[in-house]
């Protein structure tokens, strides 16, 4: 059962309408509003262009897994090359790769569409399936692809557009449209939240290069900023020597071989700062307000990269556990209604307050000001960063040692059960990990949060 | 809901001083569902009929309105000829061999009314089953007293197990229990909330129905016509026959009126407890303590009782959840050429039937286990609602605890305040005795108007019928109604009723809790 999701009322002709029933509708709308605005981790994207094999065969550009929360696959893949072919495949329950898209072309391109997975063989709802994107070219010049988004979108089922209430005789069917559409929106969320993969450790020594160690992608929500952080350790020999960490935003507009880039944050750190960690990694953090994100459009995908740079030879820097997520902002978009709770005995059961619930529902629906825009990204493992949002962590252990780190500098360490999986772990068992706190999972091929334990 | 009297003169004959009582008692000796076979009409033998329907139990009081014993009837019939004695040659047992073992679980139906001239006009007063018959003989006069229980008898002795039901309403749970128990006639209000997880584990079906009703603050009982009824907590302010007067009880036909307040029905606060459950990761719900031996051609059934209740139970997988072999040793194929396993899973236990299709070798099933997703209980929580009327001195709390079907704060939040409103005021309870009113049913609204029987201002109020006791003997039909005044049971009388009330931004009918 979802935490905080209310039991929505059953409204029957002739029955007394209760304040708690109507307030449950408020709770439902407010829950969905919060879920739509929650701090959501970016998800994996290709760090750069990936080149096709030299022999004209298909080569893997991107791979990952995701639970099948719906039958719609969304992809956003950039391609370039004189001639190229791209295909998207999944692994069915028998282990065979099935192709859902195969496309050829030439020159610069962007493959961006949804694919209906209905009726595809060997797909099981709720099951974690493997996916991959491959690119090929008939020899030189090579083809290239960069996957920005590969995600499963849950369906919106059972949706009923809320009616417009007017003064006059009440009706159960009109009122019942409200809980029905709320339940539909809740189902649309898919009952899962992804984690964000990142490196478990990468060391750089070359000077004057921007070493990109992370690239994630996120769907921008109006008014939301970004939180970015990384753990660093470095060998910086002289007191004056330093290294720089930076965060950049890429807009989905090609600029030469790459994309339009906006610098969001840079931070220089020196040996004394590193020494303050007592030999341990220190965590660098940046909160980037929405105002610092220029020209972003709600609903559009943007990538965020993080890099480090050394300016003095002989030094080295190691980075690990990068994470970037949207920052939750409680301020609703224009048009979000005020939902004032009803009280027992109220005599204001009228269009104004009932239509406010309908307005909230419409805002949360597709195309609304608070569009939930749910999806489950397909991505791989590494250091998986998450924010405790749902009760269960579903994960596939690599071996016996799976670790969940939490607390300041993620030095708290909780040993999750290892072995064969997939396994489900109730995150509520870690008292130091209240809802809304960040954590990092290592030792898992993949992981995601879920409302319910994994059913297989 | 009061019975229809259209086409009869019952509305006037019941109040006439010399109304002639019309009685009909029929017994479905062969249990074929009709009342028209030979000798099924035993009316001429009837000496007296005593019937009791109740929603209010004096010992339990108002908090447990509707959680009472089943309706009962006691019918004394003449048996001078011993025709009803099962050992009498040529008696009922020789005509209907099904009763030869005794008068037990035989459907019975009682109708009472009055004559309009020479026309008997009757309405049904009791439908149930004979639970037993006690014969007696006094000065040569033989009688049999038939003890009868309403149709709940089908549930009272029926224990059942079910899978875990997720998100069902009280009425859905009740309906399932009724159907499983063979009760086909029912009328159920829609429950107010969904219950996250519910299941039965070898539990009494009648008790399950009462618990489900109570989780909604409602009532479960059987009507005069034998129908199972679920009435939600707000039914008295929703149902037409509870909102409009169905009979006026005035001084002209009253034998006795009592008016009392019982201390046990008054509370200064109400506590409602709930305990949620959540679904935990897959685990072994049960493991067989030892290898199971299945002789050739036999089926062995294991009753597996889980460590935890489970909403999802996976059928055991051969080679993973159990192994099977013969003493050869040899692997046993799965299927009709070897071993088949059939699992019937319930909420807290399962029945695993293993069949050895071979003809020679005994099969040994080892390491058998059942896996599933267990339901783990949360800590119990509770909420208190204090009196708002300020009428009860001191502190006296009614605690609604221990109902496993109250699992959410929402449920508690609806039951608690309504219950508080009912209990925070000293409620008068009236008993009115007079001639039988054929059409009145439990929860009907009646008007009590007795201005001359008592000093002014007398009694003039509307009340819900929460108890009906009747007795016919000597050609008379006496009835005592237990009445709960309608005013004060709920905080307001003008609640917003869906489909009846009108939307208005101000001045609409009032919201309930």
Q: Is the pLDDT of residue B172 over 70?
A: yes
Do the Cβ atoms of A444 and A395 come closer than 8 Å?
yes
Between A200 and B151, residue with greater pLDDT = B151
Beta carbons of B238 and A15 less than 8 Å apart: yes
Q: Whole-prediction pTM value?
A: 0.85
Contacts of residue B192 in chain A, CB cutoff 8 Å? 9-10, 15, 18
- pLDDT (average), residues B483-501: 94
Beta carbons of A349 and B503 less than 8 Å apart: yes
Residues 228-267 of B with CB under 8 A from A: 232, 234, 237-239
Contacts of residue A345 in chain B, CB cutoff 8 Å? 491-492, 510-511
Confidence at residue B457, expressed as pLDDT on a 0 to 100 scale: 65
Contacts of residue A10 in chain B, CB cutoff 8 Å? 169, 190-194
Confidence at residue A2, expressed as pLDDT on a 0 to 100 scale: 47
Selected for mutation to probe chain B from A349, A355, A422, A428 (highest B CB count within 10 Å) is A349
Beta carbons of A354 and B503 less than 8 Å apart: yes
Beta carbons of A170 and B496 less than 8 Å apart: yes
Confidence at residue A131, expressed as pLDDT on a 0 to 100 scale: 97
Do the Cβ atoms of B494 and A171 come closer than 8 Å?
no
Q: Using CB atoms within 10 A of its CB, is residue A367 exposed (0-12), middle (13-18) or buried (19+)?
A: exposed
B178: which residues sit within 8 A by CB, 6+ positions away?
A: B155, B184, B186, B205, B209, B228
Q: Is the pLDDT of residue B149 over 50?
A: yes
Do the Cβ atoms of A229 and A282 come closer than 8 Å?
no
Size of interface A-B (CB pairs under 8 A): 154
Q: Is the pLDDT of residue B455 over 60?
A: no
Q: Is the pLDDT of residue B452 over 70?
A: no
Q: Any idea of the CA torsion for A363, A365, A369, A374, to the nearest 10 degrees?
A: 140
Residues 358-397 of B with CB under 8 A from A: 373
The rounded average pLDDT for each run of 10 residues, N- to C-terminus, in chain A (456 residues) is 73 93 95 91 88 92 95 96 95 96 94 96 94 90 93 95 97 96 96 93 92 94 92 86 94 89 94 86 94 88 95 92 88 90 97 98 93 93 91 92 91 90 86 91 95 78
For residue B173, the distance in angstroms to the closest alpha carbon of chain A comes to: 15
Beta carbons of B511 and A349 less than 8 Å apart: yes
| Largest distance between two CA atoms of chain A | 81
Nearest CA in chain A to B505: A350
Do the Cβ atoms of A38 and A435 come closer than 8 Å?
no
* pLDDT, tens digit, 9 for 90 and up, residues B128-148: 999 999 999 888 789 999 999
Beta carbons of B498 and A17 less than 8 Å apart: yes
Q: Any idea of the CA torsion for B357, B363, B367, B369, to the nearest 10 degrees?
A: 30
Whose tokens are 């459907």? That residue is: B107
- pLDDT (average), residues B22-43: 96
Confidence at residue B64, expressed as pLDDT on a 0 to 100 scale: 76
Q: How far apart are CA A267 and CA A287, in angstroms?
A: 12
Model ipTM value: 0.85
User: Which residues face B284 on adjacent strands?
Assistant: B371
Q: Is the pLDDT of residue B462 over 70?
A: yes
For residue B176, give both structure tokens.
């399932």
Beta carbons of B512 and A19 less than 8 Å apart: yes
Q: Could you give the residue ranges of the DSSP H alpha helices within B30-169?
A: 92-95, 153-156
The residue length of chain B stands at 513
Mean pLDDT score across all residues of chain B: 92
Collapsing DSSP to helix, strand or coil, B466 comes out as strand
Contacts of residue A343 in chain B, CB cutoff 8 Å? 511
Between B86 and B355, residue with greater pLDDT = B355
User: Smallest Cβ distance to A350: which of B189, B508, B512?
Assistant: B508
Contacts of residue A451 in chain B, CB cutoff 8 Å? none
Whose tokens are 């013969």? That residue is: B326
User: Smallest Cβ distance to B499: which of A167, A170, A348?
Assistant: A170
Confidence at residue B317, expressed as pLDDT on a 0 to 100 scale: 86
Q: Is the pLDDT of residue B488 over 90?
A: no
- pLDDT (average), residues B53-65: 83
Helix-strand-coil percent breakdown of chain B, rounded to 5? 15, 45, 45
Categorize the per-residue pLDDT at B265 as very low, low, confident or very high, splitting at 50, 70 and 90: confident
> H or E stretch including A114?
strand A109-116
Beta carbons of B511 and A350 less than 8 Å apart: no
Q: How far apart are CA A278 and CA A74, in angstroms?
A: 45
Nearest CA in chain A to B193: A9
Greatest mean pLDDT among A27-36, A269-278, B273-282, B450-459: A27-36
Angle at B74 between CA B68 and CA B75, to 5 degrees: 155
Closest CA to A409 of A244, A198, A236, A231: A231
User: Smallest Cβ distance to B278: which of A1, A10, A172?
Assistant: A1
Beta carbons of B278 and A349 less than 8 Å apart: no
Confidence at residue A456, expressed as pLDDT on a 0 to 100 scale: 64
Contacts of residue B279 in chain A, CB cutoff 8 Å? 1, 452-453
Categorize the per-residue pLDDT at B163 as very low, low, confident or very high, splitting at 50, 70 and 90: very high
Beta carbons of B281 and A426 less than 8 Å apart: yes
Closest CA to A135 of A193, A202, A63: A63
Nearest CA in chain A to B503: A350
Residues 474-503 of B with CB under 8 A from A: 491-492, 495-503
Q: Could you tell me if B206 lies within 8 Å of chain A, comparing CB atoms?
A: no
A248: which residues sit within 8 A by CB, 6+ positions away?
A: A261, A262, A263, A264, A304, A305, A306, A307
- CA A398 to chain centroid: 22
Nearest CA in chain A to B311: A455
For residue B124, the distance in angstroms to the closest alpha carbon of chain A comes to: 27
């Amino acid at each position: 059962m979802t935490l905080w999701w209310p039991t929505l009322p059953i409204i029957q002709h002739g029955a007394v309408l209760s304040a708690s029933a109507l307030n449950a509708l408020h709770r439902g709308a407010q829950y969905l509003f919060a879920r739509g605005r929650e701090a959501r981790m970016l998800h994996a994207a290709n760090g750069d262009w990936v080149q096709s094999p030299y022999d004209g065969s298909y080569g893997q550009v991107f791979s990952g897994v995701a639970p099948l929360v719906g039958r719609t696959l969304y992809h956003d893949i950039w391609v370039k090359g004189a001639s190229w072919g791209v295909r998207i495949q999944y692994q069915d329950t028998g282990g065979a790769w099935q192709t859902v898209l195969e496309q050829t072309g030439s020159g610069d391109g962007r493959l961006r569409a949804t694919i209906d997975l209905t009726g595809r063989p060997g797909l099981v709802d709720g099951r974690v399936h493997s996916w991959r994107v491959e690119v090929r070219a008939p020899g030189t010049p090579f083809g290239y692809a960069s996957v920005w988004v590969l995600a499963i979108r849950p369906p919106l089922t059972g949706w009923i557009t809320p009616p417009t209430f007017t003064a006059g005789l009440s009706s159960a069917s009109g009122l019942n449209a409200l809980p029905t559409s709320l339940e539909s929106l809740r189902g649309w969320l898919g009952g899962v939240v992804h984690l964000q993969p990142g490196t478990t450790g990468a060391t750089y020594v070359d000077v004057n290069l921007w070493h990109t160690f992370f690239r994630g992608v996120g769907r921008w929500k109006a008014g939301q900023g970004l939180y970015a952080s990384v753990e660093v350790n470095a060998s910086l020999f002289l007191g004056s020597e330093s290294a720089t960490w930076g965060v950049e935003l890429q807009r989905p507009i090609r600029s030469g071989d790459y994309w339009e880039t906006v610098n969001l944050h840079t931070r220089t750190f020196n040996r004394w700062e590193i020494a303050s960690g007592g030999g341990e990694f220190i965590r660098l953090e940046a909160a980037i307000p929405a105002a610092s994100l220029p020209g972003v459009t709600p609903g559009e995908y943007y990538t965020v990269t993080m890099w480090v740079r050394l300016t003095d030879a002989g030094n080295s820097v190691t980075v690990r556990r990068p994470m970037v997520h949207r920052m939750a902002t409680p301020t609703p978009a224009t048009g979000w209604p005020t939902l004032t709770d009803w009280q027992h005995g109220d005599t204001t059961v009228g269009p104004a307050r009932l239509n406010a619930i309908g307005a909230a529902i419409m805002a949360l629906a597709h195309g609304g000001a608070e569009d939930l825009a749910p999806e489950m990204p397909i991505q791989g493992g590494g250091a998986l960063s998450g924010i405790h949002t749902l009760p269960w962590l579903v994960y596939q252990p690599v071996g016996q040692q799976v670790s969940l780190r939490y607390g300041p500098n993620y030095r708290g360490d909780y040993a999750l059960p290892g072995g064969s999986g997939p396994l489900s772990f109730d995150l509520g068992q870690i008292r130091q990990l209240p809802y809304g706190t960040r954590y990092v999972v290592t030792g898992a091929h993949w992981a995601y949060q879920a409302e319910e334990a994994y059913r297989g | 809901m009061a019975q229809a009297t259209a086409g009869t003169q019952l509305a006037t004959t019941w109040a006439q001083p010399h109304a002639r009582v019309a009685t009909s008692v029929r017994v479905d000796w062969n249990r074929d569902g009709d009342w028209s076979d030979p000798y099924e009409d035993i009316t001429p033998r009837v000496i007296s009929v005593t019937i009791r329907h109740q929603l209010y139990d004096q010992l339990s009081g108002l908090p447990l309105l509707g959680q009472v014993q089943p309706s009962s009837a006691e019918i004394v019939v003449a048996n001078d000829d011993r025709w009803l004695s099962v050992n009498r040659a040529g008696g009922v047992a020789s005509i209907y061999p099904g009763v030869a073992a005794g008068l037990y679980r035989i459907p019975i139906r009682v109708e009472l009314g009055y004559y309009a001239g020479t026309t008997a006009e009757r309405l049904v007063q009791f439908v149930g089953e004979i639970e037993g018959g006690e014969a007696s003989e006094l000065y040569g006069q033989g009688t049999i007293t038939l003890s009868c229980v309403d149709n709940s008898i089908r549930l009272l002795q029926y224990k059942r197990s079910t899978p875990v039901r997720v998100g069902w309403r009280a009425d859905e749970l009740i309906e399932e229990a009724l159907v499983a128990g063979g009760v086909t006639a029912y009328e159920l209000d829609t429950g107010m909330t969904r219950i996250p997880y519910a299941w039965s584990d070898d539990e009494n079906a009648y008790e399950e129905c009462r618990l489900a009703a109570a989780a909604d603050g409602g009532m479960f009982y059987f009507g005069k016509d034998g129908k199972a009824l679920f009435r939600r907590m707000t039914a008295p302010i929703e149902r037409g026959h509870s909102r409009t007067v169905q009979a006026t009880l005035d001084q002209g036909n009253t034998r006795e009126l009592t008016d009392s307040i019982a201390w046990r029905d008054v509370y200064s606060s109400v506590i409602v407890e709930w305990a949620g459950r959540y679904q935990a990761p897959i685990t072994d719900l049960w493991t067989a303590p030892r290898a199971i031996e299945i002789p050739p051609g036999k089926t062995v059934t294991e009753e597996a009782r889980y460590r935890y209740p489970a909403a999802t139970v996976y059928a055991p997988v051969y080679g993973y959840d159990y192994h099977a072999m013969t003493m050869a040793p040899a692997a046993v194929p799965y299927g009709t050429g070897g071993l088949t396993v059939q699992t019937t899973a319930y909420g807290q236990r399962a029945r695993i039937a293993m069949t050895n299709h071979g003809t020679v070798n005994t099969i040994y099933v080892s390491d058998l286990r059942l896996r599933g997703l267990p339901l783990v209980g949360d800590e119990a929580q509770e909420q208190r609602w204090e009196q708002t009327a300020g009428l009860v001195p001191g502190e006296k709390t009614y605690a609604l605890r221990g109902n496993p079907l109250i699992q959410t704060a929402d449920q508690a939040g609806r039951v608690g305040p309504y219950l508080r409103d009912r209990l925070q005021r000293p409620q008068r309870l009236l008993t009115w005795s007079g001639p039988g009113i054929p059409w009145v049913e439990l929860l009907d609204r009646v008007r009590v108007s007795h201005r001359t029987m008592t000093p002014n201002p007398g009694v003039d109020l509307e009340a819900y019928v929460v108890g009906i006791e009747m007795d016919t003997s000597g050609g008379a039909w006496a009835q005592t109604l237990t009445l709960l005044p309608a005013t004060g049971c709920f905080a307001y009388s003008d609640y917003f009723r869906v489909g009846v009330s009108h939307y208005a931004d101000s001045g609409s009918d009032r919201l309930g809790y």
